[in-house]
């Protein structure tokens, strides 16, 4: 079978690709495990110095997801699965409404329509977000049964995409699933345009001896999850039998709900006296307005019952980030 990962040259995309290649097979349209013989990382931009590695199954296709002809050429087999990670992120979506609609909404529709045109029922996994929740009536804890009233353009596009996947699946056009992600930690490299980018920076920069100014207060509360559990959870969601999901194909991933203070304390514990970059608090009204519109806590009973993973603590996430990206480097 062929596997396509949109946004594939990004952090989660590449880790997902590596995990799938090591696994060797996925459940395909035949509803049995099929050997992955081709895995395409599709992205608009390929980072400088991006190392594809030597695996002959792996390839990069560069292009614009909002161009339908490009997507039709990309999805060119009946035995195919797509992991749709490509997205204009939260901060970027607030600054450029048209770009967010073109990439997040139109691009997603192009993928769904290309899969619909195949003579099979391909599997599609969307990387959604808890940014689908929001508004004055949002409860203290959100989950799969919470009404969606997102307060960012990014959240709106994710909510619409979740509903489209539900309907395309109901109609038998594809077999879709949406993984509703909390904030992903700890991303290596440089900050991106996501409003939540500071959360990874809170750990990454000090561990690298770099000073950082955090744009939110220490009391800020948010759900987070480590990249290992997210990648494993996305694959687990892909592999679930279709009837295990029913008519609601969107699943809130398990998360750890913590404050900025909790994260700073965990960093100090794991650092265990080693020198860190200086951390200061300098609230940014633009970032604070976005972050305070998000859910503060989540429930995820359904995901746990279906076997999706979760780390035990922030300390655990910091420790394996050190092993994967600092000690390894």
Cα(289)–Cα(294) distance, rounded to whole angstroms? 9
- In this structure, the strands spanning 123-129 and 175-181 are parallel
Of 154, 168, 300, 321, which one is the catalytic site residue? Answer: 154
Q: How far apart are CA 58 and CA 277, in angstroms?
A: 37
Return all residues near 319 (Cβ < 8 A) that are at least 6 apart. Answer: 270
Please give the span between the terminal C-alpha atoms of the chain, in angstroms, as a whole number: 33
Cα separation, 241 vs 323, whole angstroms: 34
- Torsion (CA) 292, 15, 300, 154 in degrees, nearest 10: 40
Helices (H) and strands (E) in the chain, counts: 12, 14
The answer to whether the CB of 222 falls within 8 A of the CB of 229 is: no
> Is residue 299 among the annotated active site residues?
no
- C-alpha 59/C-alpha 40 separation (Å) is 5
What's the order of all strands across the beta sheet hosting 221-226?
Answer: 183-185, 221-226, 256-259
Q: Which helix (H) or strand (E) holds 19?
A: helix 11-23
Residue with tokens 């008519």: 247
> Do the strands 38-43 and 2-6 form a parallel or antiparallel pair, or are they unpaired?
parallel
Which residue do the tokens 């195919």 mark?
Answer: 80
Helix ranges, the chain (H): 11-23, 68-74, 90-95, 97-100, 107-116, 153-170, 197-207, 227-239, 260-271, 285-291, 301-305, 314-321
Q: Which residues are catalytic?
A: 154
């Amino acid at each position: 079978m062929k596997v396509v990962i949109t946004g594939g040259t990004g952090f989660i995309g590449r880790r997902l690709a590596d995990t799938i290649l090591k696994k060797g097979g996925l459940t395909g349209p035949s509803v049995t495990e099929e050997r992955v013989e081709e895995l395409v990382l599709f992205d608009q931009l390929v980072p400088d110095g991006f190392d594809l590695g030597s695996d002959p199954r792996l390839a990069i296709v560069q292009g614009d997801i909002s161009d339908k002809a490009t997507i039709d050429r990309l999805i060119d087999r009946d035995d195919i699965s797509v992991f749709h990670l490509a997205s204009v992120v939260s901060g970027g979506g607030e600054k450029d409404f048209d770009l967010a609609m073109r990439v997040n909404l139109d691009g997603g529709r192009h993928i769904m329509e290309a899969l619909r045109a195949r003579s099979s029922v391909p599997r599609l996994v969307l990387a959604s977000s808890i940014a689908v929740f929001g508004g004055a009536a949002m409860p203290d804890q959100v989950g799969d049964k919470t009404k969606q009233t997102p307060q960012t353009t990014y959240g709106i596009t994710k909510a619409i995409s979740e509903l489209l996947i539900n309907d395309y699946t109901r109609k038998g056009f594809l077999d879709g699933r949406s993984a509703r992600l909390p904030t992903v930690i700890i991303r290596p490299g440089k900050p991106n345009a996501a409003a939540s980018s500071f959360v990874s920076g809170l750990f990454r920069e000090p561990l690298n001896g770099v000073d950082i100014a955090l744009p939110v207060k220490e009391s800020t509360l948010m759900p987070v999850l480590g990249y290992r559990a997210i990648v494993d959870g996305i694959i687990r969601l892909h592999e679930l039998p279709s009837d295990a999901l029913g008519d609601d194909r969107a699943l809130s991933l398990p998360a750890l709900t913590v404050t900025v203070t909790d994260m700073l304390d965990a960093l100090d514990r794991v650092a265990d006296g080693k020198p860190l970059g200086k951390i200061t608090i300098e609230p940014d009204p633009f970032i604070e307005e976005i972050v305070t519109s998000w859910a503060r806590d989540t429930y995820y009973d359904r995901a746990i019952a279906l076997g999706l993973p979760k780390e035990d603590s922030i300390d655990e996430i910091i420790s394996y980030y050190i092993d994967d990206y600092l000690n390894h480097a």
